[in-house]
Amino acid sequence: MSTPVFEIRRGTSPVVLAFPHTGTDVPPAIYDRLNDNGRILADTDWHIHRLYDGLLDDATTVRATFHRYVIDANRDPAGVSLYPGQNTTGLVPETDFDGKPIWKDGQAPDEADIAARLRDFHAPYHAALAAEIERVRAIHGVAILYDCHSIRSHIPFLFEGKLPDFNIGTDMGRTCDGAIEQATLTVVEAAQGYDSVLNGRFKGGWTTRHYGRPETGVHAIQMELAQSTHLQTETPPFAYDAAKADRLRIHLKDILVRIEQIAPGLKR
């Protein structure tokens, strides 16, 4: 493949940052099957790896370079819905977040396509992420996976009204020690000019739920940011707003530093 499936920056912090949805690479054979709407790649987690860059010294980062329309790295490989009974997108999405088709007529991926993409994209990314989590846990006796996401603040197909700025997901407290959840809440609730929710519309995707096993020393938490917090507009060209981002980065850094400081007390 012309572009590596993932990028890794190895560090020795107990915190691992994952970026499953910031990639925009779509191999030509797949891109040719997308319709004009799909080619906008609107559902990208725009600029999230830039937003977090340099916030925590020596943190490990694992970033998928492929777009979620190729295959969604934050979905169950078995295709099981994260939110049964609610509108969502699947392992290989058929529509965008507005419910509009993204593939040309007759070009939607079939079972063979999905199996190939699981093999070539989803599995290698998660093998790399799992290896880094285990490497960090071997160093510290504990690892904290912080899964980095963003989404448009208004998407009627997925949720009513405006999404809060900070959306913390821990699968109702199952994926991490309560101290991590509380430290994150303390920061976002004190952040002036922002609103937040814990385990609201987004309770943590497959990554958080799959890896978050506190009893094994691996803790996981998802942060879904409303894109209005760091983009000029939530429409093309989805440009980064440096002034907004700089204000937001102060609070994100505070979260990461606090959860890193908690890590030694979580050793089994």
pLDDT confidence of residue 1: 47
Residue 120 lies in a domain: yes
Q: Which residues of 84-102 are buried (b: 16+ CB within 10 A; e: fewer)?
A: eeeeebbbbbebbbeeebb
Counted residue by residue, the chain has a size of 268
Residue 112 burial class via C-beta count within 10 angstroms: exposed 0-12, middle 13-18, buried 19 and up: exposed
CA–CA separation, 7 vs 21, rounded Å? 13
Widest distance between CA atoms in the chain: 54
Q: What is the pTM of this model?
A: 0.95
Stretch 2-17: mean pLDDT:
94
pLDDT value at 88 more than 80: no
Mean per-residue pLDDT, 90-94: 93
Burial of 212 (0-12, 13-18, 19+ CB in 10 A): buried
The answer on pLDDT for 111 being more than 70 is yes
Q: What is the pLDDT of residue 157?
A: 87
Whether residue 68 is contained in a domain is answered as yes
The DSSP 8-state label assigned to residue 15 in this structure reads E
Residue 246 belongs to a domain: yes
Higher-confidence position of 81 and 28: 28
Count the neighbouring beta carbons within 10 Å of the beta carbon of residue 166: 26
For residue 102, being part of any structural domain is answered with yes
- With respect to residue 41, please indicate whether it lies within any of the assigned structural domains: yes
Two tokens, residue 266: 């979580």
Residue 82 reports pLDDT greater than 90: no
Q: Please give the share of the chain, as a percent, with pLDDT higher than 90.
A: 91
Residue 115 three-state SS: helix
Map residue 14 onto helix, strand or coil: coil
- Please, which pLDDT band fits residue 2 given cuts at 50, 70 and 90? low
Within-domain flag for 23 = yes
- Write out the two tokens for 88: 């969502």
Q: Is residue 99 part of a domain?
A: yes
Domain extent for 66: 6-265
* pLDDT band with cut points at 50, 70 and 90 for residue 87: low
pLDDT classification of 85: cutoffs 50, 70, 90? low
Helices 178-190, 242-262: crossing angle, 10 deg rounding: 150
DSSP notation for 161-225: SPPPSEEEE-TTTTSS-HHHHHHHHHHHHH-TT--EEESSS----HHHHHH-BGGGTEEEEEEEE
The chain-wide mean pLDDT, for the chain, equals 95
Q: Is the pLDDT of residue 178 over 70?
A: yes
What pLDDT score was predicted for residue 247? 98
Structure tokens given for 128? 């790399």
pLDDT digit string, tens, across residues 250-265: 999 999 999 999 999 9
Number of domains in the chain: 1
Please, which pLDDT band fits residue 73 given cuts at 50, 70 and 90? very high
Which whole number is the average pLDDT over 93-110?
96
In this structure, what CATH number is given to the domain that contains residue 35? 3.40.630.40
19: left (phi over 0), alpha (psi -120 to 50) or beta: beta
Does 12 reside within a domain? yes
